[in-house]
């Protein structure tokens, strides 16, 4: 993947290091009989587990965990951001999804990220500040899911986060790593400096007690008055004020924008892979379609040729990934604004035709989008490098209800501005900065009321008898797609345990450079791939944060990515 300039490459590298630990770090695997949660922080996982112990559903657990994540991992997700939630209902044996993606305000325009000369600004120019802030969607989405699947009272789900915010908690290693890695960028932002740095300018240290009474007060109001307390009244006014009066890049969000936001329940995208059936998130996320495409293309090859870490496995995975990312760049966007050819992109015949382009012996180079068998507009592919400050959780409750939820404020520390104790997102930078390329519109161009494209890929897999088998998801920006797809290949084709599949070195190709996470054998594999025509890089770490749960005889096993602070807990 080619980035526009040295400073962006350096920032991206810092972000990867900040979000990750070497894969040699200890990874745990948890076994449970009744219910389980795998989440990005022990406090969040414990909050979810406590809700299920109290008789709550997987959705109840997800809400409690998300509210805690906004406190203990604010650099990655929170109520000032957005999320996608996939829910499997064991009674109906159906899967649905909830869309809490951030939305562009009415003030957004197609040219909002162009400079005075009409050229796209550098990707991180609009951050920090209010211009990049989308209307937060998490609270409305959680309320919508709770209305349909919640068992415990709404207010009870807020108790763990309120208690931690008031009494404090010891700062974890991930937050400390990210503060230090981003220090030169964020330390001059007043909101960040006031909350994460001491008076002498030194950042918080691991183990220090961190409190956020302002966040506790916000949660109390939402717990008492429901989601309207967030989207109307003093909290909404605080969001608008923060956006309008940001130290840099002021935005135009209004109270009417917030009051008008609606979360949506959507049909997931589903398809088959060998004897398995998968469901994942559809547009405005590109994740589900891309994962289905990649697995569909890899189905052409025997499982033994796909083993991660082998030459054939890495090459074939990279080629399928190239093709999926090419389609993603051209066709994917908000389905309310773009006629996304979902059926065509996931058509088995079309996927087979794309798979036929894969040469088992040579790298194809930059892939171009295909021509799916469904009416679609003449579009130009976007060029928009993105990194997310994102989190994921996977949950199974006593009744077999499954939740896979990926949640984000976009980049690390979002827009770097706070409102009422929570960070605001910078998700509008997920739009293509170029609304038109080569005389053709870009599907993911900004527009008023539009949802930016995402790569979040919460995924649930079912066995040949249509029983829940495994669920995974990850943070990681556009690389989420590869993180999830590679993990599924590891579990379904190589028969790896969730622990091994989640912790194995990552292999990525977003239709550019082939990235191999540094580890045993990586340099040898890189040389072999180079001989096949790949341009290869071997970074120290990659920024995955996978969480997964798998059904086994008499219960479940779960695992969390060793690159972050996550854990799986269950009874």
Predicted confidence at residue 541, as pLDDT, reads: 65
3-state SS track over 251-295: CCCCHHHHHCCCCEEECCEEEEECCEEEEECCCCECHHHHHHHHH
Residue 472 has pLDDT above 90, yes or no: yes
Catalytic entry in 30, 96, 390, 487: 390
Torsion, Cα 222 227 231 236, to 10 degrees, reads: 10
What are the residue ranges of helices labelled H in 306-440? 311-331, 342-345, 348-355
**pLDDT reported for residue 5:** 32
Asked whether the beta carbons of 394 and 471 are under 8 A apart, the reply is yes
Containing 537, the helix (H) or strand (E) segment is strand 536-537
Distance CA 273, CA 293 (A): 10
Q: What is the pLDDT of residue 243?
A: 97
Average pLDDT over every residue of 29-48: 96
Tokens of 434: 């170029």
Known active-site residue 24: no
424 DSSP assignment: P
Token pair for 295: 């697995």
Is residue 40 within 8 Å of 391, Cβ to Cβ? yes
Per-residue confidence band for 315, with pLDDT thresholds at 50, 70 and 90: very high
Minimal CA–CA distance to 58: which of 95, 26, 25? 95
Percent of the chain beyond pLDDT 70?
94
**Which SS3 state, helix, strand or coil, does residue 43 take?**
helix
pLDDT(353) > 60: yes
Q: In what helix (H) or strand (E) does residue 494 lie, and over which residues does it extend?
A: none
What's the pLDDT at 334?
97
Between residues 542 and 284, the one the model is more confident about: 284
| pLDDT, tens only, 75-88 | 999 999 999 999 99
Strands (E), 411-464: 418-419, 422-423, 436-437, 440-441, 459-462
- 386 pLDDT above the threshold of 90: no
Answer yes or no: is pLDDT of 206 > 60.
yes
CA atoms within 13 A on the CB side of 478: 25
Mean pLDDT throughout 269-283?
98
pLDDT reading at 393 higher than 50: yes
Average pLDDT over residues 197-206: 92
Q: Let me know the angle formed at the C-alpha of 235 by 234 and 241, rounded to the nearest 5 degrees.
A: 85
User: pLDDT (tens digit, 9 = 90+) per residue, 425-444?
Assistant: 999 999 999 999 999 999 99
Query: What is the DSSP code string of 131-153?
Result: TTPPBP-HHHHHHHHHHHH--S-
Mean pLDDT (whole number) for 123-137 = 94
Over residues 323-332, the mean pLDDT reads 97
**Residue 27 has what pLDDT?**
60
Q: Which residues of 513-541 are buried (b: 16+ CB within 10 A; e: fewer)?
A: ebbbbbbeebeebbebbeebebebeebeb
Say which residue the tokens 């203990």 belong to: 72
Residues 249-258: what's their mean pLDDT? 97
Task: Return left, alpha or beta for 160; rule: phi > 0 is left, psi -120 to 50 is alpha, else beta.
Answer: alpha
pLDDT class of 387 with cuts at 50, 70, 90: low
For 81-164, strand residue ranges (E) read 82-89, 94-100
Query: Any residues with CB less than 8 A from the CB of 34 and at least 6 apart, and which?
Result: 398, 555, 570, 571
Domains present along the chain, CATH in parentheses: 6-102+127-265+384-508+542-570 (3.60.20.40)
| Residue 99 in this model has a pLDDT that exceeds 50 | yes
Position 388 scores a pLDDT of 55
| pLDDT more than 90, % of the chain | 86
Lowest mean pLDDT among 323-327, 517-521, 527-531: 517-521
* Pair of tokens at residue 214: 């302002």
Residue 299 near residue 341, CB atoms below 8 Å: no
291 has pLDDT over 70? yes
Confidence of residue 120 (pLDDT cuts 50, 70, 90): very high
Half-sphere exposure of 27 (CA within 13 A, CB side): 25
Residues 304, 306, 311, CA angle at the centre, nearest 5°?
Answer: 105
Tens digit of pLDDT for each residue in 2-31? 323 333 344 444 444 344 444 444 566 899
Q: Please determine, for residue 411, whether its predicted confidence score (pLDDT) is greater than 80.
A: yes
- Report the sign of the C-alpha dihedral through residues 195, 142, 235, 244, in that order: positive
CB atoms within 10 A of CB 415: 34
A 10 A CB-CB count for 505 gives: 21
CA distance 80 to 226: 16
Average pLDDT in the chain: 92
> What mean pLDDT do residues 197-203 have?
91
């Amino acid at each position: 993947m080619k980035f526009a300039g040295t400073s962006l490459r350096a920032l991206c590298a810092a972000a990867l290091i900040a979000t990750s630990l070497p894969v040699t770090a200890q990874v745990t695997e948890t076994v449970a009989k009744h219910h389980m949660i795998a989440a990005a922080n022990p406090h969040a996982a414990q909050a979810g587990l406590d809700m299920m112990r109290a008789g709550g559903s997987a959705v109840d657990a997800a809400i409690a965990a998300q509210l805690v994540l906004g406190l203990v991992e604010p650099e990655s997700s929170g109520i000032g951001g957005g999320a996608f939630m996939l829910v499997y209902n064991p009674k109906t044996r159906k899967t649905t999804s909830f869309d809490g993606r951030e939305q562009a305000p009415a003030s957004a325009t197609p040219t909002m990220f162009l400079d005075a000369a009409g050229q796209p600004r550098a990707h991180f120019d609009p951050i920090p500040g209010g211009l990049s802030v989308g209307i937060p969607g998490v609270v409305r989405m959680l309320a919508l899911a709770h209305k349909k699947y919640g068992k415990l009272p709404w207010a009870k789900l807020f108790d763990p986060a309120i208690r931690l915010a008031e009494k404090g908690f010891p700062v974890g290693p991930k937050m400390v790593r990210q503060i230090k890695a981003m220090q030169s960028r964020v330390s001059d932002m007043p909101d960040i400096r006031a909350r994460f740095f001491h008076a002498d300018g030194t950042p918080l240290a691991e183990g220090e007690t961190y409190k956020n009474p302002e966040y506790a007060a916000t949660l109390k109001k939402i717990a008492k008055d429901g989601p309207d307390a967030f989207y109307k009244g003093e909290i909404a006014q605080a969001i608008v004020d923060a956006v309008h009066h940001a130290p840099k890049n002021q935005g135009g969000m209004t109270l009417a924008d917030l009051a008008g936001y609606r979360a949506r329940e959507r049909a997931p995208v589903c398809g088959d892979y060998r004897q398995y059936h998968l469901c994942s998130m559809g547009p405005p996320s590109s994740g589900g379609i891309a994962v289905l495409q990649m697995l569909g293309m890899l189905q052409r090859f025997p499982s033994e040729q796909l083993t991660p870490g082998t030459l054939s496995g890495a090459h074939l995975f990279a080629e399928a990934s190239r093709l999926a990312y090419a389609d993603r760049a051209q066709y994917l966007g908000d389905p309310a604004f773009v006629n996304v050819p979902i059926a065509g992109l996931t058509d088995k015949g079309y996927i087979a035709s794309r798979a036929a382009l894969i040469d088992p012996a040579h790298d194809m180079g930059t892939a171009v989008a295909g021509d799916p068998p469904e009416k679609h507009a003449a579009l130009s592919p976007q060029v928009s490098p993105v990194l997310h400050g994102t989190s994921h959780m996977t949950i199974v409750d006593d009744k077999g209800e499954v939740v896979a939820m990926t949640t984000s404020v976009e980049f690390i520390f979002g827009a770097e501005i706070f409102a009422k104790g929570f960070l605001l997102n910078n998700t509008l930078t997920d739009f293509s900065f170029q609304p038109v390329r080569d005389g053709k519109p870009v599907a993911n161009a900004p527009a008023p009321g539009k949802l930016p494209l995402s790569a979040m890929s919460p995924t649930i897999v079912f066995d040949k008898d249509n029983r829940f088998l495994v669920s995974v998801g990850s943070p990681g920006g556009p690389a989420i797609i590869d993180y999830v797809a590679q993990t599924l290949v590891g579990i379904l084709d190589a028969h790896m345990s969730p622990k091994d599949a989640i912790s194995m070195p990552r292999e990525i190709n977003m239709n550019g450079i082939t990235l191999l996470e540094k580890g045993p054998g990586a340099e040898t594999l890189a040389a072999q791939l180079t001989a096949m025509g790949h341009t290869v890089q071997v970074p120290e770490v990659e920024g995955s944060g996978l969480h997964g749960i798998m059904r086994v005889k008499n219960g479940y096993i779960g695992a969390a990515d060793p690159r972050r602070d996550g854990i799986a807990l269950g009874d």
